[in-house]
Structure 1
Amino acid sequence: MPQVLSHQQLIDIAEKFGTPTYVYHAERITEQYSRLTDAFSGIDATFFYACKALTNINVLKHIKSIGCNIDCSSVNEARLALMAGFEPGRVLYTSNNIAFSEIEAAKELGVHINIDSLSNLEKFGKKYGHSYPVGIRLRPNIMAGGNLKISTGHSKSKFGIPLEDVDKIVQLVKDTNLHIRTLHIHTGSEIKDVDVFVKGIEVMFEAAKHFPELEIIDLGGGFKVPYEPGDEGTDIQLLGKKVAEAFSAYAKQYGKTFRVWFEPGKFMVSEAGYFVTKVNVLKQSGDIRFAGVDSGLNHLIRPMFYGSYHHIENISNPKGKMLPYNVVGNICETDTFADNRMIAEVREGDYLVFYNGGAYGFEMASNYNSRFRPAEVLVKNGEAKLIRRRETIDDIISTQVLD
């Protein structure tokens, strides 16, 4: 059974550190990483945690300690990774519509680099030639993911260099003597269908024929995690089996083997996270019961932004009568976490926990309405440790230039 934090542990944390608070379970992160390494033990696979999901440096240090590498979406994430102790060779930076100066900065850090535009690829080749191996992010023209907002590989996506431009890439390599070591794709998030990854492999194998120095095929991430009770995630064991079969068949046919890279983000931390809130107000409007909590879309934007589901439990009264509630926030906007959700009877002052709080929760938080971002707590070896204090008014004004 997966490791979970108990209701009482979460209540104790809420009473000690206040609410709202994000809580992360280190051992569950370790468990998720072990699932990956076990499933892909039959292939030369390396995992880079996609840290855009959660970048608290204490979490990054834990991820380093268990042997996982790190994937970064900005040069600042790469700097954080180095601050957390990752060696440059364990850091992957994938650019996305950024100024070439940021790629130059990443190169100076000595990290692995993926480039996603012909423009920046040409600039890189002209400046560095064959001296610094680089990866190319391709757009595979595959529709995948939980919804359009998190699908990144389809034909209208902003991400990557379109497959139909492979000939242009080949010409750039010839003109600038680029060293292409990696081909990279990422088709989306919340991908349950294993065959989507297999289709991506086929695309990569075809493209690989154009790059004789290629060593690595990076299949990105996007593994689905369960959100609703009874929901199922990506079958990681089946995926590992199919990936191994595909790469083995390619090696037999063409006599060439590749290393395989993956970039799991949500898979690593989502289920390890809990968001604990307190009920401020109960309201009745006709047959609608509102449970208003001490948070809002400024702390957890996913339900309003993506229509995402987060399972919610009343940990103060778990055996209460099940009743339908609209769980809403305290922001001056419509910020609904759940509609007509069956929850054990809620009273003012009760603690509600939102599950799957580890990915894109705090990371996407803001100070909207000039409200403070919440605290973060890491539970490791049974000990709850504050890893980010709750903000104060001084934090709100700290970067403002006062007259």
Structure 2
Amino acid sequence: MVDYEQLLSDRVKIVKPSGIRRFFDAAAAMPDAISLGVGEPDFETPWQIRRAGIQSLEKGQTFYTSNWGLAELRSQIAGLARRKYQLCYDADKEILVTVGGSEAIDNAIRALVNPGDEVLIPEPSFVCYTPLTQMAGGTPVPLPTLAKDQFKLTPDRLRAAITPRTKLLILPYPNNPTGAIMTRDELEAVAAVLRDTNIIVISDEIYCSLTYGAAPHVCFAELDGMRERTIVVDGFSKSYAMTGWRLGWAMGPKELMRHICKIHQFGIMSAPTTAQFAGIEAIRTGEDDIERMRTQYDIRRRYLLGELRSMGLTCFEPQGAFYAFPSIASTGLSSEAFCERLLHEQQVAVVPGSAFGKSGDGHVRISYSYSMNHLREACFRMRKFLQSL
């Protein structure tokens, strides 16, 4: 009899399954359930982008690309960085095309983290950072953020968490699950803490095109002296509604990127060729599509925020991404209990805040990347649920 438990890696055994997928899978088994759990645009990939992918197949462009990605795609990404952030990256040595932003984060962590190194992770935050750190042998160090601070990372909390073993800071803004953003002044305060350290920052920019305030999004690498210590991660999934294409990228100093590319080289080889040709077209012609989708998300954001508050739930106003993160503390239920009961009593799936770190308990994440019809019906059912408590 094979003892599989003994065979498994200790690093894998300590990793917990995703708290998001559990509720998504349960809702999928209920024919009348409404799921507001997964952060996926309900828009189709714009037609001209799909057409570029189709045409690449028709032309027989089904070969491996360079490990770094198609030269034209990297050139387009470099141009995008110049236009959006006034940042200059060498398309040949400082930009790596990856299988989604998640692979870029994984590769960056594995390239930098030794056993025992500490990775600072603001929480609540996306579910991948902690397990990827654990699987690299590192020690995740949560930095709790609070609703009273608009879920922003404060310089005092950052400063207090830094030790001689600190290697990395994850900077996940605009934030999943809270929808929080950080302004230039707030990022400058973080930069001031890091300036005399040897800490590297992974700036997860996957929601950078989806902000709703008057001030433009600021990339951490834009700040004085921060480009040299920042790996910028971005992708096509959220901005261009290309989740299934699995296409992202990482940008950073060539001294780091050549090692990050080695991991990609042996683990993946190259991102999907068809997706890369679609990505070229997305950057070339997709800006109007981003604005069209962002406008619709903003309408949904304002509707959902108003509904949640009218139900008696306290909710921080999200300024980025496409999530609301209301407090359910007034119900007396834990996040897990609230989501379990809402799913089974009213067949609405949302995600417990505790899935995003301990500081997320007492909240739930609701995605408004779904249609207004879905949101209206979900809010109707949620109101009935709250009235029944």
TM-score (ref. length: structure 2): 0.32
Q: Which has the higher helix share?
A: 2
Q: Which has the higher contact order (CA 8 A, sep 6+)?
A: 2
Higher strand share: 1
Which structure has the greater CA radius of gyration? 1
